């Protein structure tokens, strides 16, 4: 059973960022349940085999103010995939800093399709792949994480010792196999 965590503050954002992931799992006949992050219980974490932390809209950043709600990640020993905002949460919980894109690039917001080069296999992605960006922030990851993409900021990461993965892009838009590959790890 896969736990999908919804970090969206606005109810309508569920349809853009959570429901597409539910649809991918439903299509592949993968059992799941979805919970808002602020309703998550220890029992939910205990009964799941894997966790997907979904992204949210570009200006919905309330989840970053609630990072202590995700301290369970520090001792959680099951696979986790953080998508966009979920990757920000992983980075922040593990002591890394979240920065605005403006500090790295001339523009603050990245929206659209971009080519990313995956230096090694990352949940089925390797070589140059087109991915969908929708973000204002990025995380500078420390040495506890492996970075799988070139470029100015990490687009795909994995914890060195645990099965904790993160992607800054949105695989539910363009790279759906990444999500199913994670589920079948």
Alpha carbon 66 to its chain's center: 16
pLDDT by 10s per residue, the chain, length 185: 999 999 988 888 899 999 999 999 999 999 999 999 989 999 999 999 999 999 886 666 666 666 667 899 999 999 999 999 999 899 999 988 776 655 445 556 678 888 999 989 999 999 999 998 887 777 888 889 999 986 678 899 999 999 999 999 999 998 999 999 999 98
To the nearest 10°, report the CA torsion of 110, 151, 139, 53.
Answer: 70
Of 170, 161, 178, 81, the residue nearest 121 (C-alpha): 178
Residue pair 15/57 in contact (Cβ under 8 Å)? The answer is no
DSSP 54-92: ----TT--HHHHTGGGGGGGGG--S-EEEETHHHHHHHH
Give the span between the Cα atoms of 156 and 109, in whole angstroms. 18
The structural domains of the chain, ordered by start, are 2-183 (3.40.50.880)
CB 145 within 8 A of CB 159: yes
Count the neighbouring beta carbons within 10 Å of the beta carbon of residue 79: 18
Report pTM. Answer: 0.92
């Amino acid at each position: 059973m896969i736990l999908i965590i919804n970090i969206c503050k606005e109810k309508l954002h569920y349809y853009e960022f959570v429901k597409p992931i539910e649809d991918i799992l439903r299509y592949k006949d993968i059992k799941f349940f979805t919970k808002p992050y602020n309703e998550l219980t220890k029992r939910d974490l205990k009964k799941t085999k894997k966790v997907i932390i979904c992204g949210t809209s570009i200006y919905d950043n309330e989840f970053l103010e609630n990072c202590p709600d995700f301290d369970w990640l520090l001792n959680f020993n099951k696979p986790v995939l953080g998508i966009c905002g979920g990757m920000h949460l992983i980075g922040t919980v593990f002591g890394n800093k979240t920065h605005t894109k403006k500090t790295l690039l001339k523009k603050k917001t990245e929206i659209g399709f971009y080519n990313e080069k995956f230096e090694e296999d990352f949940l089925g992605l390797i070589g140059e792949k087109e991915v969908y960006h929708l973000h204002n922030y990025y995380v500078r990851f420390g040495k506890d994480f492996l970075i799988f993409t070139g470029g100015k900021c990490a687009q795909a990461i994995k914890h060195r010792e645990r099965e904790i993965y993160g992607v800054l892009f949105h695989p539910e838009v363009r790279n759906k196999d990444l999500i199913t590959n994670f589920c079948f790890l």
